[in-house]
Amino acid sequence: MARQSPQRPDADEPELDDTDAAAAADEVEEDRPPADRALWDEVRIDPVEIALPAGTGFTLRAYRQARELTPTDVAERDQDDPFLARRQVVETEEDEEVVILDEEFAALSAEEDDEDEEKDAESRRKGKADASDDEKAEADEDDAEDDEDEAGDEEVPVFLTHKGRLLLFKTPESLVTFIRSGAPNDLSQLDSWNELSERLEPADIAPLDEDTYELDLVVENLRGGHDAWDHELLIEAGEIARDLAYALRLPAVLDMLSAGSSLDDLDEALRASVNGGVGGFLGRRRLKKIGAQTASLGWRTIVGKISAVVDWRD
C-alpha cells in the first residue's frame, strides 16, 4: 500500500513538538489491548518470530512428549545437501562418524580443546582411579534406565516444518492463509491443529517477547568483544538454536551446542553472569576467558546452517 503524504495541521490546531508526539505515541501504545492468548493456551502452540540475515519471519512452535511426535522427514532435504554428501563419503571411506563444521571454528576449537585436555587430564585420571567397579556398573545401569525413560517422556520442540525445512512467513496474513489451506506440515500431527486452523486470525500472530529471537545480531555482537556482549540476546539465541537443531534434525548444530563444547561453556557463563552474588562474579570471570573469535565463528556456522534449511514464504 502506497504511503499517503502527511496532511498539514489546521491553522487553529497547535503543532506537537517532539516530546508531545512521543508522549502521544506512548499513550496510544498503552491503550492498545494486548493480544488474546486464550487460543494459544488452549492449543498449546505459540507464534514465534525469528530474525535471520535474510529477513524476519513468523512461524509456530510447540512442545510435546517425544513419543507423541513423528520427526520431520529430512530425506529429500539431505539429498540436495552437498555437505552431507561429503560427510557420507568420508564415513564410507574411513568407517567412522565425521561431522563437517566450519573449518575456522573447528581449528580454533581444536586448539582450545587441546589446552583444556592438558589442564584436566590429571584430574580425570584421578577421578577414574577413585571410582570403584561397582559404582561404575551402578552408574551405567542408572544412566541406561534414565535414557530409556527420557527418550519418550521428555518434552521436545516441534515447529511449523515440512520435509526438513522451517517454514517462515513474512507476514501474519500469509502464515494464517497457509494454516487454513490444509497444506501438509509437521504440526498437523498435533491433536489441537484442526482447532487452531479453524479459529486463527492474523491478529492472533503476536509473539511474546520471549518468543522473539534475533539470530541476525548474534555474530556481530560477539565480534564486538566481551564488554559489548548482549547476554540476553546470546542466551535466547542458544535456546532457539537448540530447539531448531533438534526439530530440524541438524546434528552438526546440536554437536556444536552440546554439553562440554566451547559454545555451551559460553552459554553457561552467560547465564551465571546475569545472576548476582558469587555465581555472577565467577560467570563474568569465565566469560573473559572465552575467545571472542571462536565464539563468533561458531555462531556464524550455526546461523548459516539454520538459514540453509529455511523455506521463506511471502
Cβ(311)–Cβ(165) below 8 Å: yes
Q: What is the pLDDT of residue 8?
A: 42
Query: What is the DSSP-derived secondary structure letter of residue 36?
Result: P
pLDDT digits (tens, 9 = 90+) for 179-227: 999 999 999 999 999 999 999 999 999 999 999 999 999 999 999 988 8
Per-residue pLDDT band at 92 (split at 50, 70, 90): very low
Q: Is 168 exposed, middle or buried (0-12, 13-18, 19+ CB in 10 A)?
A: buried
Domain residue ranges of the chain, discontinuous segments joined by +? 41-100+155-313, 106-147
For residues 207, 64, 150, 283, the Cα torsion angle rounded to the nearest 10 degrees is 0
Q: What is the pLDDT of residue 120?
A: 57
Residues above pLDDT 70, as percent of the chain:
64
Distances (CA, A) of 34 to 29, 78, 208, 239: 10, 41, 10, 25
Q: What is the pLDDT of residue 85?
A: 47
The three cell numbers locating residue 19: 516530546
- DSSP, collapsed to helix, strand or coil, labels residue 49 as strand
Cβ(59)–Cβ(50) below 8 Å: yes
Q: What is the pLDDT of residue 275?
A: 77
> How far apart, in whole angstroms, are the C-alpha atoms of residue 188 and residue 186?
5
Burial 290-312 (b: 16+ CB within 10 A, else e): bbbebbbbbbbbbbebbbebbbe
Backbone angles phi, psi at 276, to 5 degrees: -80, 180
For residues 36, 38, 39, 43, the Cα torsion angle rounded to the nearest 10 degrees is 150
pLDDT digits (tens, 9 = 90+) for 10-59: 445 445 455 555 555 455 444 444 567 999 999 999 999 999 999 999 99
Note the pTM of the prediction, 2 decimals: 0.72
Does residue 95 register a pLDDT over 70?
no
